Structure 1
Amino acid sequence: MIEPLLSALRERPAFASLAAADLQPLPATGTSHGHVVLPGSLLARLAYAHEGDPTAAARLAAQAEAFRHLASAGRTPRLHDVIAPRPGLPGGALIVDRIDGRVPRVPAELAAMADTLVRLHALPLPSASSPIPRQADPFLATLALTEHNAARFLDQAVPDPIARAEIVDELGLLRAMDLGRRQQPLTVALADTHPGNFIVDRSGIAWFVDLEKVHVGSPAIDLAHATLATSTLWHPDVDAVLSAADVRGFYTLYLEKVGPWQAAALEPWLMPMRRLTWLRTTLFMARWRVQTLAPRDPTDLLQWSDAGLMPAMKAHIDATIDRCLRPDTIRSIRAEWMT
């Protein structure tokens, strides 16, 4: 992707004299993007897509608008340019600020993550005409996605009957809650808030850097995804399991910062959406396992691939998925709400 990126950048006056040596690819640790360091403290986010993917341009436009919309909070990189999908760059690319820092140390820097979530969730909602997706009912939308992935991938990804039964049981319990069509607070939501998607700078600010899945939805999902074991184990430089006290402290701090009115409206949804987020992530792992192990299907432009990952990251993800799909791990996570 370097040559197509360089060619696209040279079309812009600011990068007309750029040389190949000026582009520094970062280790491939993301499942959806590659990253290339550019001069001037900039970063190219190369969106992964298969050649000919008809949805790539719309996804890139939504992500670009997310960067624009969230910029005023001062907790996400600024967007500088958009490179539309083209041959060799089928997903296109965004040129954004490069944030100098590292992933959060958890639990020590959970407070910084909570502060960032408070600021981003407080932003005004995008207009109805915005390309940023909107969930009218986050519970039903997330449950439907989870059930879809369960139907397609659960049996293949989770051969252990005990683990599979635990997941099916949790799906049934959530379905029986019948929480659809009940009003819950809607905010700008980030969706993919595992700690590896934050970068802590020298001043201690936790920047949220992966805006691919920003939408209007439930802030409770963001809180859950920041602290569940299925999330905190995902990035090799985080690779931790939080204690119950750590999780309570994170939620308490967030609720204190958003104020009593927002906290009261959100609290009834915290546990249902936490349970649903665990299922959503677990079935994401199931889909990842099945689709990355399967031969490339040229008719499926949305098939996931791990071909771009560096070997060490691929091995870490495989081991994490193995761990998260084990019966003992599933039971330890569910014990939070089943006891």
Structure 2
Amino acid sequence: MPTLSETRLQALDNTLQQAEIDYQSLSPMADTGLAHDHVWIHRDGDDWVARLPKQSQMNLPPEENLAYQAACYERASQGGHTPRLHSVLPPSESLPRGALLVEAIRGRLAELPQDLPAIADALASLHRQPLPRQRPPLLAPKAPWQAMVDEVAQQAKWLSDAQLPSGIHLRIQQELDLLPRTLDSATPTLISFDTHPGNFLITDDGRAVLVDLEKCRYGLPGIDLAHTSLYTSTTWDLNSQAVLSLEEVVGFYRRWQAAMATAPDMMLPSVDTLIACRRATWLWSLTWCAKWRAQHLHHQDSERRGEDWSAELTDALVIDHVRDRVEHYLSLPIIEHVHSELQCLQTAL
């Protein structure tokens, strides 16, 4: 399918005019993800980007999905390392899932390992923010570790439908059994929950900007650190692939800890908590792979309401890439590789 249909682009054009938003032209951006189409909005002065949802990864109906994403941008941008939100286009007949209009960031894709310090600083800008009194609509579970474990367990139900070899299924279950039931230091912060390196742009002044915000919540910062530096994240995006050494991962964690030291009232997570979060994030990724493996051949949701992993929504080359990564991460050698790294990191930190 094309990157963005002419009908969908025209619908955005008409909606922008109806909203009396001034702009000069629209440029569809490459289809690189499973959740949104993106259109660069050329304006006189500051350009914007339109984020047009294909689905909701939070499994929310269109209006709630937009409100949730708007809150993600509004809160995260206070740290200075994410785009600002400019406007929300509500769902309509021509744009059934609506759109968000956010600040356009000019920058290059992150390169690892050299951009890890800048990314660590960007994450700290999120995690240092004071907790607000009113946290909805963002998720804010009273027990953030238990919420993460429950989310992994919910996705793990797809392991049986993913048609995995029995040895792989058993090996993943063994890792699931290693998740601790409780954590001693589990202080929640604002987190992105989707910080793989492909979601960062590096500006000319060396600042890392996290551009894709959809799943923010109040949870454990170790999840973001893991999602940035795990093998299943650093090798996901073709344009920023890297296999980090143990020393590079340790340096990334220590840079974040140093940046967090400027928030003296915040208790930093223990090594045990960081490792537990890393294991949980890895298992979240593996169980997501199983879920996608089981669901991506389903037909597109005609009502366009919540979560939808149909391959019909995304460019075939992107689907081929995702399929390749899913099969790779669900292979026994890669599972053993990440398991070994977890053990070494426990000692190194």
> What TM-score do you get using the length of structure 1 for normalisation?
0.91
Instruction: Tell me, yes or no, if structure 1 residue 30 matches structure 2 residue 33.
Output: yes
Determine what percentage of the aligned residue pairs are the same residue. Answer: 33
What is the match of residue 273 of structure 1? 277
**Of the candidates 97, 111, 117, which is equivalent to residue 123 of structure 2?**
117
Write the mapping of 1:233-312 to structure 2, written as runs, cut at 5 A: 233-259=235-261, 262=266, 264-296=268-300, 301-312=306-317
Match of residue 10 from structure 1? 17
**What's the Cα RMSD here?**
2.1
Q: Are 2:159 and 1:154 aligned?
A: yes
Which residue in the other structure is 1:64 paired with?
Answer: 70
- Residues 154-191 of structure 1, C-alpha deviation per residue, up to 9 Å, x if partnerless? 123252222211100011121xx2216x5511110100
Count of paired positions: 329
Partner of 2:249, secondary structure, is helix
1:7-32 Cα shifts (integer Å, max 9, x gaps)? 110112233xx57xx21111111111
Residue 95 of structure 1 aligns to a residue whose secondary structure is strand
Partner deviation per Cα, 1:121-156 (whole Å, 9 max, x = no partner): 1112233253122122222111111111111x1123
| Contact 1:83/1:92 (<8 A) preserved | yes
Check whether the contact 2:299–2:312 (CA below 8 A) recurs between aligned residues.
Answer: no
Cα distance in 1 between the residues matched to 2:194 and 2:219 = 12
Q: Is the 8 A contact 1:27 1:310 kept in 2?
A: no
Cα separation, 1, equivalents of 2:12 and 2:201? 24
CA contact (8 A) 2:74 2:84 kept: yes
Q: Is the 8 A contact 1:73 1:123 kept in 2?
A: yes
**How far 1:33 sits from its partner (Å)?**
1.0
How much has 1:108 moved relative to structure 2?
A: 0.8
Residue 200 of structure 1: which of 198, 202, 224 is its match?
A: 202
Q: Is 1:211 aligned to residue 217 of structure 2? A: no
User: What corresponds to 1:42 in structure 2?
Assistant: 48
1:158 touches 1:164 (CA, 8 Å); kept in 2? no
Residue 317 of structure 1 corresponds to: 322
Q: Distance in 2 between matches of 1:36 and 1:295?
A: 25
> Per-residue displacement from partner, 1:80-118 (whole Å, max 9, x unpaired)?
110111223222111111111122100111001001011
Q: Distance in 2 between matches of 1:212 and 1:301?
A: 13
Aligned-residue offset at 1:211? 1.1
How many Å separate the matches in 1 of 2:118 and 2:312?
33
User: Which residue of the partner structure matches residue 103 of structure 1?
Assistant: 109
Structure 2 alignment gaps of length 5 or more: 1-7, 345-349
The code of the aligned residue for 1:9 comes to L
Q: Provide Cα deviations, 1:292-324, integer angstroms capped at 9, x if missing partner.
A: 123446588533223232232222111111110
SS of residue paired to 1:13:
coil
Structure 1 pair 318/286, CA: closer, same or farther in 2 (3 Å)?
same
2 CA distance for matches of 1:298 and 1:14? 30
Q: What amino acid is the match of 2:107?
A: G
**Following the alignment from structure 1 to structure 2, what is the Cα–Cα distance between the partners of residues 147 and 248?**
28
SS at match of 2:310: coil
Instruction: Verify the 8 A CA contact 2:187 2:267 in the aligned structure 1.
Output: no
Give the partner amino acid of 1:87: E
Secondary structure at the residue paired with 1:307? Answer: helix
* CA contact 1:185–1:265 (8 Å) conserved in 2: yes
Cα pair distance change 1:85/1:126, threshold 3 Å? farther
Task: Give the counterpart letter for 1:45 in structure 2.
Answer: R
TM-score (norm 2): 0.88
Q: For residues 178 and 281 of structure 1, do their structure 2 counterparts lie closer, same or farther at Cα, with a shift above 3 Å needed?
A: same
Provide Cα deviations, 1:250-300, integer angstroms capped at 9, x if missing partner. 001111221277464443310001000000011111111211123446588
Amino acid at match of 2:280: L
Change (3 A) 1:8 1:297: closer
CA distance in 2, matches of 1:247, 1:165: 28
The correspondence for 1:326, drawn from 309, 331, 334, is 331
- 3-state SS, counterpart of residue 313 of structure 2: coil
Q: Distance in 2 between matches of 1:291 and 1:88?
A: 27
Instruction: Select the residue among 73, 94, 98 that pairs with 1:88.
Output: 94
Could you tell me which amino acid in structure 2 is paired with residue 116 of structure 1? Answer: A
